[in-house]
Structure 1
Amino acid sequence: MIYLTGDRPLGLAAGDFNNDTRLDIAVCNAGNNTIGVFLGYGNGSFASQKTYSTGAYPSTLAVSDLNNDSRPDIVVTNTNDATVSILLRYDRGAMKNEITFTPSAGAHLTCVASSDFNNDSLLDIVVANYGSNNLGVILGYGNGTFGNEMIFSTGLKSHPYSIAINDFNKDGQVDIAVANHGTKSLSTFLGNGNGTFESQANYSTSFDFAPLAVGVGDFNSDGRSEIVVAYDDTGNLDVFVIYDTGDFSHRMTYSADVWPKCIAFGDFNNDTRLDFVVITRYYSTVTVYLGYGNGSFAKQMTYLVGNFPFFVAVGDFNNDFRSDIVVTNHDDHTVSVLLGYGNGSFATQKTFSAGFEPYCVAIGDFNNDSRLDIVVANLDSSNSISVLLEYGNGSFASQENYSTGSRSWSAAVGDFNNDSRLDIVVANFDSDSISLLLGYGNGSFARQVKYSTGRAPTFVAVGDVNNDSRLDIVVANRDDSTASVLLGYGNGSFANRMTYSTSNFPDSVAVGDLNNDTRLDIVTNNYRDNTVSVLLGYGNGFFANQMTYSIGTTPQYVALVDLNNDGRLDIVSPNIAGSSESVLLGDANQVFVKQTTLITGNGSRPISFATGYFDNDNHLDIALVNSGTNTMGIFLGYGNGSFANQMEFSTGSTPMSIAVGDFNNDTILDIVVANYGNDTVGVFLGYDNGSFSSQNMFTTGFESLPRMVAVGDFNNDTLLDIIVANYGTNNVGVLLGYGNGSFADVKVFSTDYGSGPFSISVDDFNNDGKLDFAVANKGADNLEIFLQAC
């Protein structure tokens, strides 16, 4: 059935406009400045449209009850005169004369949406003002009238184009996401619950293409909506996932002596509150700061150590349940041990010989005698590390040296081969590598095994970043401003490195769960630009792009610890040029992080996508068609918002549409594709592991140019069938399924000459329990409905 609209029908919405429990249709007639309302009879047919005047060139509309009379009203954006029209329903589907609101000058409206932004149970309106680069929020009074427009800037030349609404940060308030066509970015405005919004957060998109559409969906099963952005003329989609970032915008600074270099933490006075110790290279001292348990500290005492100290660590070296301090002294080739009294004070240092120019120290029980031992990375040309075994009274045996073949900048300890014996990993500054020395459990170690890193590795950290119960290694690479991640196999060997950008000259690295999502994150201090970089982990060994936070001048080291007992890790860094320590307290801030860009290939031009559980792991996957490369792409989801690389399957020529269903009754999802260029549909049968058979092609008719495909049971035999809109032959084709993945020849239903069927939707429009379908005809400017007769 064909229903005439006005000129150039654009926006479309459905609602029950006359309270007869039957759906009606409203459409924007852009060419003659009206909307048309088609009242439904409940049997799939509609009355002729009744038109209502709007502003100039109505383009989008939304349906909501704007005056609390339990009747749906219509709000319309008028592009050419930059106004919003409100049409209130008053009786039997009739609409009152429009109420017009004029947004900011030069607005050029492109999108409208409604929701309750101020929690007064009255619907409000938000519009995208493309021309004036802002959003307009208009609060409703509940009687069909509205207050003045409140303006929220989206940025210079941003040209906001599309809007999506949801509660993105789970605070119970409505938030807004905007696709900015001009600046090629995504913006979010988090709602305050009173009709106002926080300043926008901007997120860059992957490539130099303008976003056209924004939508929402929960791809990682965390109960929060992710944002999907589609672009104009590109080969990818972007998925943005909201994360609790553990924001570090709150900074406190503590003065220190000249050249503070390194910092370590412990409870030095047994009050269950964390304290810290910092070394001062210039004066060859360590200074102890006692914590109040709220993130603030008092300076306690300063102690002499050896000449030009570089690194400090904390442990109980004499088994008296009190924290002690160990320091590497670069210029006199020793380590200093200061035994703690348990009241915040320490004994005078004891010194022990180490290698030449000792730089970094790490602690562990290397000979399984329940006593803490020391490993020292030596920065001189001896290219070695030194191991000092402890006697249990705070003294140590003579050093044992192990070659690394390069200047050793730092060391870390862990059991990398799961034999319950501690091993050592060392950052080799000159050879762009790390050395792994597996422990024998008696205080001695095997010869090194090397793995490549980035340029000039300065620091190494250890943790399980992919949640497989095997230790992995993270390295800060100073000269190429990167962090390397090497995933462990649990047998003492590692995968090749993955590389992530940091800011300028990362000097040290730490790992910890900064946003309390049970996934390890990475932090580096960047001493060239006075920042720290935070890379949030996905729990699968991959990480988000860095977020940076300003810190003091020339930060030398980074440590993670909960200083204020709020259950969140904080960041601490000594600043050598600023003679200070910076504390960045973690906070529960939630922002969107661009989770991943789904790369579909050069010239692929993905045009249609669908979702489903293609490998039956209860993690949502994505299927799409690439019209430029004649392929279907499958992205298997990990359930955390990230996806495996695309698997490609050949389609016919110029695939334009994709749909999902079980065509052979094996409880495994299959896929059908409309091949516009060679007049076929292609069926791919699923294998339960996320892969698919080669396509079986079924003709849709000579020069049919199938534009869109959908699925449904059109003959009530409980077997899925296929329906396709044939743009070239002005008809709709139905292919009845046999239940084994094959289909009968196409049966066509005419949509009239020149109609150009472009899009198709399947539903039961007349409540008879049988599927019907509606066709949008691009050439005829109408909507046609086909009811199933038998």
Structure 2
Amino acid sequence: MQKTNGSSIDNGGVRVRHSATEQDIHVDNVQYESSTQNQPNSMKSTDVTKKIKKSPRTPSPLKYSCWSRHRTATAVGTFALFTILTMAAIQQYELKFIQTPQNPIEYNFGPRSVVVGNFDNDKLVDIVVANHVDDSISVYLGYNNGAFASNMIYSTGLYSAPYMVAIGDFNNDYHTDIAVAYYGTNSIGIFLGSGNCSFINKTVMSTGSSRPIWILIADLDNDTSLDIVTANYGTDSISIFYGSGDGTFSYTITYPMGYDSSPFSVIGADFNNDNYLDLAITNYGTNNIAILIGNGNRTFLYQQTFSTGINSHPYSLIVGHFNDDSLLDIAVANYGANNVGVFLGNINGIFTSQTTYSLNTSSPYSIGLGNFNRDNRVDLVVSNKGTNNIGVLLGLGNGSFSEPTMNPTGSSSSISLAAADFNKDNLLDVIIVSNDTGSVSILFGYDEGFQPQTTYSTGSWPQSVAVGDFNNDTRLDIVVASATGNIVSVLLGYGNGSFANQTTYSTGSWPQSVAVGDFNNDTRLDIVVANRVDNTVSVLLGYGNGSFANQTTYLTGNSPYSVAVGDFNNDIRVDIVVANYRNNTVSVLLG
């Protein structure tokens, strides 16, 4: 990757990920009361900023509806694999994403970074986008259905090439302000908000020749005024601008990251639980994360670096509680290694060795977090380059994550993301910046309620399925009728959603439908099958241990298509009813 000097921009080699303000609400042990600062994953968006201390904890669960379960069921299928969708015992939901039919925002301004906030105090989610080609930022006011009003454009100056945008209340007037990193002119622009989505008093602060590529907004010295940290790609350093609380900044200090480190992102959090914010920096060039421990007096102690792997080239990082141990953890998007790295927090700002999760051929740019499947555990989301998707890694609550689930975006270069509930359906959505299509797209979260499928082999052409406890172990088992094999398959359940391999039993010709019941009153479940071709039903009596006797057949009408059981004459014995497809009748067989 080649660094640039002067006003030219290496668009192929310099890329920016999501805003450092896209943190979990509890990341840095500081919450901004009634604020969108540092909480894009929150389900509400209001104005900013009164700073209060807050103890670290995981995000609160969202409210949701309960699902009921039935202990018997039948279904029809046409495949040689029997498919199970398992509902989690803790009412966990699988969150998937669906792209909006038409991008709500599309233009040729060269979008580079996106942040969510509330710029007009209406409690609806708005967004601001940095446009590095057009030398501007665009502000979009949100509606409550996921749509946005036309953009308001604010110039950032000729050749400024804005690469990063972040938000906060810099003058303590409870209105959201905007800070922008100008990569092209080596400076930071400040836009003070008026609370009605207009911005005034743009000021510019020089960063020397640093090529600022990332902005973090945080109160580093506990003086109730927000400060700014920049990652300087051009000078292998970070710079801190301490806020005065009136929209101005003073006392700039720079910390070197080492030769050829090429820092790309920086985030603030209290890693050693001393109530002072520390800093974590991704160094793209030297393949590591650097930790600076804050002293609370505007100085930082260089702690140590943690390797992200050879040629991993980490781009962006996020902080959260991944294992509920009161110590903050780090997740990093390793662009060069096509994986996500997780560092679990240890005492005194130390971290365990990295655990990686492969994204296969996807190269992650931006990383965020949220509770996407509503199980009160922190999940991760990454935007990927080259594979037209984003990846979601569901947290297991013990510091580990599931394998990534990919969701299509329609863009091969999604370089920035943020998460929020844009359409007010209590599901997190993801907004992404795609510089190859010149668009900003929203992927709306939708909720299917099931975990990924598990498949079990059966006979050929399975037609019908029923459930019951065939071996009296209080665990549900499965029976499947397979047409071309003239068999039923019994799969005994383990009680945890998994099943043993099938045991097969012969039936009549083309078993079309299956049901279960106790036909001989021995308190053991039996099986009945409607055989469509030879116009019979087969009854297989159960032994109560999961095995069954050979079939006994009974004549029905022409082409029995479906079978059900019940006590039709109130004699406390189970009867059978069959629907006969070809002669338009039903047959009742009394037990």
2:275 partner SS:
coil
Query: Does residue 411 of structure 1 match 2:266?
Result: yes
Aligned residue number for residue 620 of structure 1: none
Q: Which amino acid in structure 1 is aligned with residue 431 of structure 2?
A: V
**Which structure shows the bigger proportion of residues in strand conformation?**
1
1:81-133, Cα deviation, whole Å (9 max, x unpaired): xxxxxxxxxxxxxxxxxxxxxxxxxxxxxxxxxxxxxxxxxxxxxxxxxxxxx
C-alpha contact 1:462 1:472 (8 A) present in aligned 2: yes
Aligned residue number for residue 320 of structure 1: 173
Alpha carbons of 1:448 and 1:310: their partners in 2 closer, same or farther (altered >3 Å)? farther
1:483-540, Cα deviation, whole Å (9 max, x unpaired): 0011112531111111112252111100111121111111111121221111111111
Aligned residue number for residue 297 of structure 1: 148
Aligned residue number for residue 219 of structure 2: 365
Query: Does residue 353 of structure 1 match 2:206?
Result: yes
Q: Which moved more, 1:460-469 or 1:276-285?
A: 460-469
C-alpha contact 1:178 1:188 (8 A) present in aligned 2: no
Query: Does residue 579 of structure 1 match 2:447?
Result: no
Inter-partner Cα distance in structure 1 for 2:339 and 2:250: 38
C-alpha contact 2:84 2:453 (8 A) present in aligned 1: no
Higher relative contact order (CA closer than 8 Å, sequence separation 6+): 2
C-alpha contact 2:93 2:447 (8 A) present in aligned 1: no
Query: Does residue 508 of structure 1 match 2:366?
Result: yes
TM-score under structure 1 normalisation? 0.47
- Offset at 1:474? 0.6
C-alpha contact 1:177 1:187 (8 A) present in aligned 2: no
- Offset at 1:590? 2.5
Inter-partner Cα distance in structure 1 for 2:156 and 2:183: 11
Alpha carbons of 1:468 and 1:295: their partners in 2 closer, same or farther (altered >3 Å)? same
- Offset at 1:473? 0.5
Inter-partner Cα distance in structure 2 for 1:188 and 1:283: 51
Aligned residue number for residue 603 of structure 1: none
Aligned residue number for residue 231 of structure 2: 377
TM-score under structure 2 normalisation? 0.62
1:543 partner SS:
coil
1:472 aligns with one of 329, 341, 344:
329
- Offset at 1:260? 0.3
Query: Does residue 445 of structure 1 match 2:300?
Result: yes
C-alpha contact 1:404 1:448 (8 A) present in aligned 2: no
Alpha carbons of 1:221 and 1:280: their partners in 2 closer, same or farther (altered >3 Å)? same
Which stretches of structure 1, 4 residues or more, deviate above 4 A after TM superposition?
171-181, 249-252, 639-642, 773-778
Aligned residue number for residue 457 of structure 1: 314
1:491 partner SS:
helix
Q: Which amino acid in structure 2 is aligned with residue 561 of structure 1?
A: A
1:741-762, Cα deviation, whole Å (9 max, x unpaired): xxxxxxxxxxxxxxxxxxxxxx
Aligned residue number for residue 395 of structure 1: 248
1:33-53, Cα deviation, whole Å (9 max, x unpaired): xxxxxxxxxxxxxxxxxxxxx
1:537 partner SS:
coil
Query: Does residue 245 of structure 1 match 2:99?
Result: no
C-alpha contact 1:303 1:348 (8 A) present in aligned 2: no
Q: Which amino acid in structure 2 is aligned with residue 244 of structure 1?
A: E
Inter-partner Cα distance in structure 2 for 1:175 and 1:583: 38
Aligned residue number for residue 418 of structure 2: 559
Query: Does residue 187 of structure 1 match 2:40?
Result: no
Inter-partner Cα distance in structure 2 for 1:641 and 1:327: 51
Inter-partner Cα distance in structure 1 for 2:523 and 2:217: 75
1:162-193, Cα deviation, whole Å (9 max, x unpaired): xxxxxxx9366858699977xxx76347xxxx
1:426 aligns with one of 274, 277, 281:
281
Inter-partner Cα distance in structure 1 for 2:545 and 2:124: 69
Inter-partner Cα distance in structure 2 for 1:396 and 1:312: 17
Inter-partner Cα distance in structure 1 for 2:74 and 2:117: 42
1:431-490, Cα deviation, whole Å (9 max, x unpaired): 111111111112211114111114010001111112222211010011121100111125
Q: Which amino acid in structure 1 is aligned with residue 126 of structure 2?
A: D
1:211-269, Cα deviation, whole Å (9 max, x unpaired): xxxxx8x8x6426xxxxxxxxxxxxxxxxxx7422444555511134210000111101
Inter-partner Cα distance in structure 2 for 1:578 and 1:777: 60
Q: Report how many residues are paired.
A: 399
Aligned residue number for residue 134 of structure 1: none
Aligned residue number for residue 283 of structure 1: 134
Larger radius of gyration: 1
Aligned residue number for residue 90 of structure 2: 222
Fraction of identical pairs, as percent: 34
1:320 partner SS:
coil
- Offset at 1:361? 0.6
Q: Which amino acid in structure 2 is aligned with residue 187 of structure 1?
A: T
Inter-partner Cα distance in structure 2 for 1:766 and 1:577: 66
Inter-partner Cα distance in structure 1 for 2:301 and 2:496: 39
RMSD of aligned C-alpha atoms? 3.5
2:185 partner SS:
coil
Inter-partner Cα distance in structure 2 for 1:766 and 1:289: 66
C-alpha contact 1:258 1:280 (8 A) present in aligned 2: yes
Inter-partner Cα distance in structure 2 for 1:523 and 1:766: 51
C-alpha contact 1:251 1:584 (8 A) present in aligned 2: no
Inter-partner Cα distance in structure 1 for 2:545 and 2:350: 59
Q: Which amino acid in structure 2 is aligned with residue 422 of structure 1?
A: L
Aligned residue number for residue 93 of structure 1: none
Q: How does 1:39-50 map to 2 (within 5 A)?
A: none
